[in-house]
Amino acid sequence: MKYGYFDDPNREYVITRPDTPLPWINYLGCQAYFGIISNTAGGYSFYRDARLRRLTRYRYNNAPFDFGGRYIYLRDDASGEFWSPSWQPTRRNLQNYVCRHGMGYTVISSEYGGIEASTRYLVPLDENLEIWQLTVTNRRQRAADLSVFSSIEFCLWDAQDDATNFQRNFSIGEVEIENGVIYHKTEYRERRDHYSFFACSEKITGFDTQRDSFLGPYRGWDNPLAVEQGRSGNSVAHGWAPIGSHQVKLSLQPAESRQVVFVLGYHENSRERKFDPPNSQVLNKKGAKFALARYLVPANADAAFEKLRSHWNELLGICQVETPDVHTNRMVNIWNAYQCMATFNMSRSASFYESGIGRGLGFRDSNQDLLGFVHMVPGRARERILDLAATQLPSGGAYHQYQPLTKRGNNDVGSGFNDDPHWLIVGVAAYLKETGDWSILDETVPYDNQAGTETPLHEHLQRSFRYTLDHLGPHGLPLIGRADWNDCLNLNCFSDSPGQSFQTTTNKDGKVAESVFIAALFVLAGRELAEIAEQRGLQAEASSYLSEVKKMETTISRHGWDGEWFLRAFDDFGRKIGSKENAEGRIFIETQGFCTLAGIGLDDGSARAALDSTRKMLATQHGIILQQPAYSKYYLELGEISSYPPGYKENAGIFCHNNPWVMIGETRVGNGDAAYDYYTRINPSAREQISEVHRCEPYVYAQMIAGRDAPTHGEA
Ligand code: GLC
Ligand code: GLC
């Protein structure tokens, strides 16, 4: 069953009914100002960092989970009837509902009682603001007197604190209202130099900035008192919950159309120019006024939209393929690249599955993301590489995550995910191949952001490689540390108390448990590094890498081969994981995929055998599962992987991320058809027809699809 269709020429997914199985979202913004928007206008906005600089509020674990957003209400002032043209929050029976998610913009249109409304949401390039461009058209035979109400709920900046610290927060909310523009300035009186503003292009007849006044006591967003009564309360927020809402009256003749533009933006002042006049507590609003003078004008909003479109046409035009398969074309030419850009910008830190308060950007993840977008924005890839390298530790190890606002390593998670360092090599290699910009290797970069520790980037890569050689286990395989690619295979954790972190609780000395996956990654990264050295005329360095790589390959075939497939790891007792000797977790996808992708076992037939075993034991119609048999109970010595119910997440779920490793492996043994077959199984476009099963967006690769052991097999 489908809930919409692909419009390939326009590079849009068109949703034709609002009640999709899950909120189907899009991302607004691609530089510093970002927003998440669902097909019913739910979602939130932030500047750079979803946790530390949140503009609008998100209420966690809500039902539905996109609730709270950029909601507009229309009211027929003759009858008193009101509705939301994006369906939520009033959920009236709309006609002709359509949501178009495009490249960096979303348009939601519908008709109700003869009034057509269409809102285009976008973030202009190079601006820290979002535009909602509403067009209202009267399709009735008679004139219509309408009220338009906008609404957003401000977040008091630090999203984590905003969601928890009510004893303070209910007292600190502050706004200013000037010429109909609502300025949110909580904490501006003290250490913040930033504010947000929410404005409307039309003359307003009223506004609200205090939530309770707008909604009325004991009411929700589906039924605000101000909208019901057709009259804003002109409330000024002092504490409690500052919101932004404007009321605009429109009188439309039959067939008449009017545009109302709303702008929500962010601005930072310098400390010296915070207040205007200087010795007052009044916000210096110049920055906002400058931006508003431009973007509240419909023609300029149109121009921003056109500019955004050509930006994306250019970016996507860099790599286009033409194959006989529509699903492949569509994903490779449009949505794949688009998703890579979203993950580059947000690296899984903000979505409806990552709350935006839980984590920064992953070191491994961000380096991997590079591979998918480096050809589109090499300049930003360069910057990202240098930022990531600056969080590397002197040992060559890396912080697992970093905060985009501060560009510092995240101490909560720390380091010790022993695959991390190699992804830097893989990322830099991709950058070099794409750009030929060898100068990046001479760029000096500190370790752990400590001034005085700078070395050329090249040395960072050397230390990455060295890190593994300094951390080898009893079989000569790399020690796994807290985890490798599989964050949930925690072999040194042995966690027995609820609430402990599986990744950071470490009870073992970490000198025994080894990862065959890291060994394969070492082989791949080592070859890249050797090639880099060779290109720079460092012959001796190159050969030393290659001899270490050779040694590792021998170790893998001696200790990492189980007869019909590659082992996954050795646990803290030195016992095999991912072996025919195991009752559960006998075979894992990661090593079959990554060893064959890295070219290990191509000569002696083990690559072919590993891929055949994968097909036999792990392949399903919905993709290749992570391991089999699923763990039926919790294993103290394996960690989080066995904490999930069978078939979900790392316990035998289908990860869209590692499936392609097997596809690449198949191409390396010359079996392109098998690669294509596997690709089709997880290609979201090819799964569009089963949207009621898949549930997640048909234009997005999900992190995970439920595996064969799950009662909801195939659900993403
Ligand atoms: C998540 C993490 C990624 C990890 C994967 C498997 O996607 O972001 O780093 O490799 O899960 O555990
Ligand atoms: C990955 C996994 C998730 C795990 C997390 C821990 O995102 O998919 O299950 O909890 O890593 O870092």
Q: Annotate 406-433 with DSSP letters as a single string.
A: TTEE-TTT-S-BTTHHHHHHHHHHHHHH
CA-closest residue to ligand 2 atom 11? 487
Looking at the structure, tell me whether residues 251 and 382 fall in a common domain: no
In the prediction, which pLDDT does 330 show? 98
User: Hey, which of 493, 650, 654, 658 would you mutate to test ligand 2's pocket, going by the most ligand atoms within 8 Å of its Cβ?
Assistant: 650
> What percentage of residues in the chain have a pLDDT greater than 90?
94
- Give the number of other CB atoms < 10 A from CB of residue 649: 20
In the prediction, which pLDDT does 413 show? 87
Q: How many structural domains comprise the chain?
A: 2
Looking at the structure, tell me whether residues 300 and 387 fall in a common domain: no
Looking at the structure, tell me whether residues 289 and 361 fall in a common domain: no
Residue 144 burial class via C-beta count within 10 angstroms: exposed 0-12, middle 13-18, buried 19 and up:
buried
Backbone φ and ψ for 93, nearest 5 degrees, come out as: -75, 95
The tens digit of pLDDT for each residue in 269-327 reads 999 999 999 999 999 999 999 999 999 999 999 999 999 999 999 999 999 999 999 99
How many residues does this entry show for the chain? 716
Range of the domain at 398: 346-470
Looking at the structure, tell me whether residues 362 and 303 fall in a common domain: no
Mean pLDDT estimate for the chain: 97
pLDDT over 90 (residue 358): no
Q: Annotate 256-298 with DSSP letters as a single string.
A: -EEEEEEEEEEEE--GGGSBSSTTSS-B--HHHHHHHHHHTSH
pLDDT over 90 (residue 353): no
> What's the pLDDT band for 360 if we cut at 50, 70, 90?
confident
In the prediction, which pLDDT does 64 show? 94
Residue 643 counted as domain residue: no
Looking at the structure, tell me whether residues 283 and 428 fall in a common domain: no
Q: Tell me, what CATH number does 104's domain have?
A: 2.70.98.40
| Amino acid in position 500 | Q
pLDDT over 80 (residue 347): no
The tens digit of pLDDT for each residue in 693-715 reads 999 999 999 999 999 999 999 99
The tens digit of pLDDT for each residue in 34-46 reads 999 999 999 999 9
In the prediction, which pLDDT does 264 show? 99
CA-closest residue to ligand 2 atom 6? 487
Could you tell me if the CB of 493 is within 6 A of ligand 2? no
In the prediction, which pLDDT does 355 show? 87
The tens digit of pLDDT for each residue in 648-665 reads 999 999 999 999 999 999
Q: Which of 487, 571, 572, 709 is catalytic?
A: 487
Scored b (16 or more CB within 10 A) or e, 445-459 reads bbbbbeeeeeeebbb
Looking at the structure, tell me whether residues 126 and 255 fall in a common domain: yes
The tens digit of pLDDT for each residue in 420-449 reads 999 999 999 999 999 999 999 999 999 999
User: Hey, which of 339, 485, 502 would you mutate to test ligand 1's pocket, going by the most ligand atoms within 8 Å of its Cβ?
Assistant: 485
> Both tokens of residue 111?
């008709």
> What's the pLDDT band for 92 if we cut at 50, 70, 90?
very high
In the prediction, which pLDDT does 512 show? 98
The domain boundary, picked from 452, 470, 488, lies at 470
Asked about 487 being catalytic, the answer comes back as yes
CA-closest residue to ligand 1 atom 9? 365
Looking at the structure, tell me whether residues 303 and 389 fall in a common domain: no
Residue 579 counted as domain residue: no
In the prediction, which pLDDT does 615 show? 98
In the prediction, which pLDDT does 431 show? 98
In the prediction, which pLDDT does 672 show? 98
In the prediction, which pLDDT does 405 show? 76
Looking at the structure, tell me whether residues 369 and 299 fall in a common domain: no
pLDDT over 90 (residue 361): no
In the prediction, which pLDDT does 673 show? 98
Looking at the structure, tell me whether residues 286 and 361 fall in a common domain: no
The pTM is what?
A: 0.95
The tens digit of pLDDT for each residue in 381-423 reads 999 999 999 999 999 999 999 877 788 888 888 899 999 999 9
